[in-house]
Amino acid sequence: MSNDKTVKLLLIEDDEDDYTLALDYLNEMLEFDFEITWLSDFDEIIHTLEQTTFDLCLLDHHLGAYTGLSVLKAAKEMGNSTSFIMLTGLADEVLDKQALELGAEDFLVKSEINSVRFIRAIRYALSRKELTNERLERLRVEADNRAKDRFLAHLSHELRTPLTSIMGYTDLLLSRKELDNIKPELTIINNNSLHLLNLLNDVLDLSKIKANTLSLSKEWLSLNSFLVDLQSLFQMAARKKNLCFSITARGPLPDKIYNDTTRMRQVLTNFIYNAIKFTDEGSIKVELELKHTQLHVYIKDTGIGIPPENLKRIFKPFEQVQNTTTKTNEGAGLGLAISSALIELLGGGLTVESALGQGSLFSFYVDILNEHTSPSEIQLVPLNLRQAPSEVEQMPLPQLGGHVLVVEDIPEIRFLISDLIEKTGVTVTAVNNGKQAVDTLSLNQHIDLAFMDLHMPQMDGHEAIVAIRKQGIEIPVVALTAAAQKGNKETLKALGFNDCLTKPIDVAKLNATLTYHLGSQNQDEHSETFKKSHNSSAKRILLVEDDNDARELMTLLLSSLDANVCSAHNIESSLNVYADQAPFDLVLLDLTLPDGSGFDAVTKIQALNPHQDIVIVSGSDPDPQKLATANIDKVLLKPVSLPDLQALIESL
């Protein structure tokens, strides 16, 4: 229906007296406002029903050469959802049955038009129409939600995979001392990548909260260490704005609390980050207090404040109060909405006090005990934030051995590549062109790997690789090219190159290539050498990842942790590697692969070894039911960091 009382009604009647009579009784139904369309010509009726759906149609059975049944049949075939009530001069059980079978809501004799039955039939038909519309709308919303969930899961995977490479390689570059002069720029890249990741996480969390699928993982955590990390995180951010930042306690605090560490950190980070963002001078103070079995937290700032009329809005998704107070801050407007919902899930409550220009006070509480712990068991200690937070381990350069030939005609690039390679401990011989490369490799059988430019005088890289392979020289040769066109790598491999790097040279990819060819001796093509040379005390890991950049990065990260890594890009190749080089201490398995789901690979690997330790790597949270069925209890969510992998290897 158009609104609560308006009803679009089609009256199909070829007798004007019957039309006038029906119109009189319809007008007596004051609870409805009927918008009536009167038609009697069959072709015009069919054309109108093709163009319009009505709330109700009163349909006369006799229409000249046609019948009302013909109209019902046509409406049914065209999928028109109008509700029909058939009207006829005499009662007829056969006609009644036929009308109902063709979708009519009711069948009335015209003499009943002036009766209560006529009014009741209209009311029931409209009620059923409304219920049907509500059901269809509910189904549509449910379908939209399922489509949205599928889209968010796909979006998560597609965004997390490139973020893995962006953040991982930036971390690697930040760890290199020779790049100190560009670390401010690298830090900007890293910070913006983290911001993008946080926005992605916020959107996904909000979706889970709305769908009631967000689960908590509660554990005992050291409150003091937790607060030390928070202080370290935000002191620098506050200092950049010349703000005072402090964390204090109103008395002793529990040594440990039972809660979800990740979600607690997320809530406090959102509140403190907002306080710093909207404060230009003064201070941000975080105070904690124990009340019975609840931890109360207060975050007070001297910032711009919030107008009273906007206090309720700030906890709604995508609402930003700065639209009415300042245009200088950015964000998706999700942080406070998510924090509010998380605090409820954590068993607590939230309040806010604020006035425009006078700062804000956010306060919340959470439960700190599980059902098996009594308040008398809580050990209280004074807050001590002087201890140094644990430092993030800097990843070292790969330490390799071997002899590499660099073939490059431009002196500056030749020197740069040689210098980068030598820093890994590798011996380098450099030549100017392809002819010198062929001659050097013909005389020196102790070179383990070559990097060769494609465009050089005398003999270019294409000619040189053909000449090298004709002599039976099988060492790995990596092409250096400024061209990154699709299919270029396949063409180079057909000529005899093993791999290619695109200019300008990505230092992390160069190190990954060195590690792949020299650290593990090219596991896919030289497995026997790998088996003889690998460190027997190191963990052996099979990495299955279809994204080339992510696979190279994770190989480099795992190798830096003294792991021996074999890699594969799909299920078929992973099974071949597994059959050839097992046993493995661990299989790291991407969930989305070109030839099937990671769960398919789990089934096939477990068929070869039921006790194999397998960890799923995914861009979105896998289905818990599928994890349970596959007997998988470990998941790494992309982007995967060095600390993630280190903790994983240490747990083996």
What single string gives the DSSP state of each residue in 85-107? EEEESS--HHHHHHHHHTT-SEE
Average pLDDT over the chain, rounded to an integer: 81
Q: How many CB atoms lie within 10 A of CB 393?
A: 12
What single string gives the DSSP state of each residue in 153-164? HHHHHHHHHHHH
**pLDDT for the residue numbered 155:** 67
Alpha helix (H) ranges present in 527-641?
527-533, 548-560, 571-581, 598-608, 624-629
- Mean pLDDT for 220-243 is 85
Q: Do the beta carbons of residue 90 and residue 108 sit within 8 Å? A: no
Residue 531, pLDDT > 80, answer no
pLDDT tens readout for residues 597-642: 889 999 999 888 888 999 999 877 788 888 888 888 888 888 887 7
CA 506 to mean position of chain CA atoms:
27
pLDDT tens readout for residues 352-372: 999 888 899 999 999 988 888
Residue 534, pLDDT > 70, answer no
**pLDDT for the residue numbered 156:** 65
CA 269 to mean position of chain CA atoms:
20
The residue whose two tokens read 């319009």 is: 52
pLDDT tens readout for residues 325-355: 443 344 445 678 888 888 988 889 999 999 8
pLDDT tens readout for residues 456-510: 888 888 889 989 988 889 899 999 875 544 445 666 777 789 888 876 576 777 8
Distances (CA, A) of 575 to 112, 455, 543, 579: 77, 39, 11, 6
Residue 377, pLDDT > 90, answer no
* Minimum mean pLDDT range among 36-45, 226-235, 451-460, 523-532: 523-532
The closest alpha carbon to 299, from 334, 260, 338, 268, belongs to: 268
Q: What token pair was written down for 225?
A: 């260490």
> Percent of the chain beyond pLDDT 90?
21
CATH, domain range 521-652: 3.40.50.2300
Angle, helices 68-78/42-51, rounded to nearest 10 degrees: 30
What single string gives the DSSP state of each residue in 337-395? HHHHHHHHHTT-EEEEEE-TTS-EEEEEEEE---TT--GGGPPEE-----SPPPPPPPP
Distance (Å, whole) CA 415 – CA 376: 68
Is domain 397-519 annotated with CATH 3.30.420.40?
no
Burial class (CB in 10 A: 0-12, 13-18, 19+), 285: middle
**pLDDT for the residue numbered 370:** 86
Q: Where are the domains of the chain?
A: 6-114, 154-210, 219-381, 397-519, 521-652
CATH superfamily, domain 219-381, is Histidine kinase-like ATPase, C-terminal domain (3.30.565.10)
CATH superfamily, domain 6-114, is Response regulator (3.40.50.2300)
* Minimum mean pLDDT range among 210-214, 234-238, 524-528, 564-568: 524-528
Q: Do the beta carbons of residue 366 and residue 259 sit within 8 Å? A: yes
Distance (Å, whole) CA 358 – CA 558: 51
Residue 544, pLDDT > 90, answer yes
Q: Do the beta carbons of residue 223 and residue 252 sit within 8 Å? A: no
Which DSSP helix (H) or strand (E) runs through 108?
strand 106-109
Q: What token pair was written down for 335?
A: 């942080």
6-114 and 219-381: same fold?
Answer: no
Split at pLDDT 50, 70, 90, the class of 154 is low
Split at pLDDT 50, 70, 90, the class of 301 is very high
Q: How many CB atoms lie within 10 A of CB 29?
A: 14
pLDDT tens readout for residues 379-406: 999 998 875 443 333 445 788 889 999 9
Angle, helices 68-78/93-101, rounded to nearest 10 degrees: 10
**pLDDT for the residue numbered 536:** 45
